[in-house]
Structure 1
Amino acid sequence: MKTQKLAAHEVEAAAAMLRRGGLLGIPTETVYGLGANGLDPQAVAAIFQAKGRPQDNPLILHIPSADWLERFCQDIPPAAWTLAERFWPGPLTMILTRKPLVPDVVTAGLDTVGMRCPAHPLCRAVIAAAGVPVAAPSGNTSGRPSPTNAADMLEDMEGKIDGILDGGPCSVGVESTIVDLTVQPPRLLRPGGVTLEELRDALGEVAVDPAVQRLMGAGEQPRAPGMKYRHYAPKAPVTVVKGDPARCAAYIAAHLGPEDGVVCFDEFAGDYPGHTVEALGPAADKAAQARNVFDALRAFDATPVPAIWAQCPDEAGLGLAVANRLNKAAGFHIIDLEGEP
């Protein structure tokens, strides 16, 4: 199969690809997604095959507006409408009780489904034109860093999918926030572009699932994408260093091997002469770090570095999402300098 590259004006061709059961790379504001008709079990199953994705890792249904929610979900709580009014279209996924027409393959057999209305206008236009919800995980080979532009997605998916719609680079750069609204209090399952602080401002109490900050055990079933498995990882092993940025930079400089690579804040990019360095953005600019984190990790796959050391932001605001992605990429191999004298 040759993957067809579609320009931004080819919305109807992209929608037709989805309607006939094809796999389509779609731009969103977070990362590029690998989309299929979310009501076609055979098409959705092809997503798992193309990505090499574990079957117990549920997918998200993408819709063009909040008024589609009642087509696919039941027992929708008032909190869902509160969040939709405030954050949709945007990088927020809500876990809700599904209706029976949502195929089991989308939900990994769960009685819940993740629902999202993306902010990227081209993505919403394609979904609306197709007239079906689009099931879509990130458009990378399972486990690799997520793609934030069409070229990165093609690197992983050329020949495995029918087409890719080029909507330019992603503006957020990390996947959507996922909040479970079927429990009380609501529970953050994955941090993303909508911060924990913003969720709490809208809803009051919001719990944080332990899987945000640790690996899930072998017997635990994920309630949402990105919870259970090692994700976002380049080929070389990653070690994350947490704490004051200057102390972390000095620790890395003292411990990295002669051929190791470094992911660091812009202020410290000159501290590692002779090493391959990928800059995350300024230490104080977490939005820039979110946009750059996957590109930084992915860039090392074109180099021979045997190991990667990564500075990590604090977990306030968007920092929680950036830290989560780095920790997942490292398999939670973290050196924590916080609190040390």
Structure 2
Amino acid sequence: METKHLIAKDKFLNESIKKAAILLKKGEIVAIPTETVYGLGADATREEAVDKIYRAKGRPNDNPLIVHIGSKEQLFELVTDIPPYVEDLIDKFSPGPITYVLKSSGKVAKNVTAGLTTVGVRIPDNPVALELLRYSEIPIAAPSANISGKPSPTTAQHVLDDLEGKISAVLDGGPAKVGVESTVIDCTEAQPVVLRLGKITTDEIQQVVGNVEVASTLSDNSEKPKSPGMKYKHYAPEVPLILVKQKSQMEQVINKEKSKGSRIGLLVSASNAKQFQAEKIIVLGENEEEIAERLYNALRSFKQEEIDVVICESFPTSGVGRAVMDRIERAATSIID
């Protein structure tokens, strides 16, 4: 299969979006840009189209997919039994990096929900994605456009690295701005529960709805997750990753790996970049937003032929930093407290 690279910039914008929409309406799968990461999209109402997502990604079919729509009105068509606070959340945060899990109205394909009675829906804050959704007039199921388990893609090239020849097209809208997946909030009860951390924080949600809980990761492998990112290991680079929680231990861990003859890669903040030596050092940034935006690109840059182990320092957990640390912990082979 030839994977078309459709560039959605300047004069190519409308033409590329139209081509992507035609493919989606034919039941093909197309990688699309969002503000969080690139998603692998299919018509959410067609089971055979959605099944192509699972096959291309190698994704477990008990892991539900998030549905992207272009408006609040379209969102309400896909769900039912909506608590009053949901509209307040939508008015505050959508379009944006937040997904609402609600009871499905039955209009999306069964394999979108992985057999659950609920469905996750969101309105992305990306002009190319919104134009595609409005032009195609279909809800688009779109998990991250990567091989399952690998770091999520934040550029069209990341998508091609994983899925070229396996999907019909990638709609290139430039780099993702947020860099980590959306916050997912379960809105099926009187009190909402955050299922996955993202750029929109629990504190921000509390300011709108009052009390909110944060779910723990599922440990029972027989239980179906309500949200992506709850059950399976994600985000891992090609080589083992060691997360060091205490900065005072970084030098010790680095020296231990050097004594083994390991070629070392480091993930560090700008303030600590000059303190350590290694074969490859990637500086993620000065603040939580920069670190989030650059994280997946950094994880993808470590290759087996260059590096034997990645050592990552712990980053601040204010704002989106909490989501960043959640992703790093899930990617880690080992964690040193």
Calculate the TM-score normalised by the size of structure 1: 0.93
After superposition, give the CA deviation of every residue in 1:249-303 in whole Å (9 maximum; x if it has no partner).
4444444334121111112222332421111112xx1000100110111100364
Q: How far did residue 181 of structure 1 move?
A: 0.5
**Range moving further from structure 2, 297-306 or 37-46:** 297-306
2:189 to 183, 186, 200: 183
Aligned to 2:225: 222
- 5 Å-filtered alignment, 1:1-341, equals 1-8=1-8, 9=13, 10-211=16-217, 216-243=219-246, 246-257=247-258, 258-282=262-286, 285-301=287-303, 303-330=305-332, 333-336=334-337
Shift in CA distance, 170/248, structure 1 to aligned 2, threshold 3 Å: farther
Q: How far did residue 226 of structure 1 move?
A: 1.2
Q: State whether residues 265 and 278 of structure 2, in contact with CA within 8 Å, keep that contact through their aligned partners in structure 1.
A: no
Q: State whether residues 199 and 319 of structure 2, in contact with CA within 8 Å, keep that contact through their aligned partners in structure 1.
A: no
| 5+ residue gaps, structure 1 | 337-341
Letter in 2 for 1:247: S
Shift in CA distance, 16/286, structure 1 to aligned 2, threshold 3 Å: same
d(CA) in 1 for partners of 2:190 and 2:230? 19
Letter in 1 for 2:72: A
Q: State whether residues 62 and 134 of structure 1, in contact with CA within 8 Å, keep that contact through their aligned partners in structure 2.
A: yes
Q: How far did residue 216 of structure 1 move?
A: 2.7
Q: State whether residues 249 and 268 of structure 1, in contact with CA within 8 Å, keep that contact through their aligned partners in structure 2.
A: no
Q: State whether residues 266 and 278 of structure 2, in contact with CA within 8 Å, keep that contact through their aligned partners in structure 1.
A: no
**Range moving further from structure 2, 299-308 or 152-161:** 299-308
Q: How far did residue 153 of structure 1 move?
A: 0.7
d(CA) in 2 for partners of 1:76 and 1:185? 12
**Range moving further from structure 2, 304-313 or 169-178:** 304-313
| 5+ residue gaps, structure 2 | none
Calculate the TM-score normalised by the size of structure 2: 0.94
Q: How far did residue 220 of structure 1 move?
A: 2.5
d(CA) in 2 for partners of 1:55 and 1:289? 31
d(CA) in 2 for partners of 1:89 and 1:322? 21
d(CA) in 2 for partners of 1:308 and 1:217? 29
Q: State whether residues 256 and 309 of structure 1, in contact with CA within 8 Å, keep that contact through their aligned partners in structure 2.
A: no
d(CA) in 2 for partners of 1:280 and 1:145? 15
Letter in 2 for 1:2: E
d(CA) in 2 for partners of 1:152 and 1:7? 15
Q: How far did residue 248 of structure 1 move?
A: 5.0
SS in 2 for 1:81: helix
d(CA) in 1 for partners of 2:95 and 2:204? 15
d(CA) in 2 for partners of 1:268 and 1:199? 32
Letter in 2 for 1:170: A
SS in 2 for 1:118: coil
Q: How far did residue 330 of structure 1 move?
A: 1.0
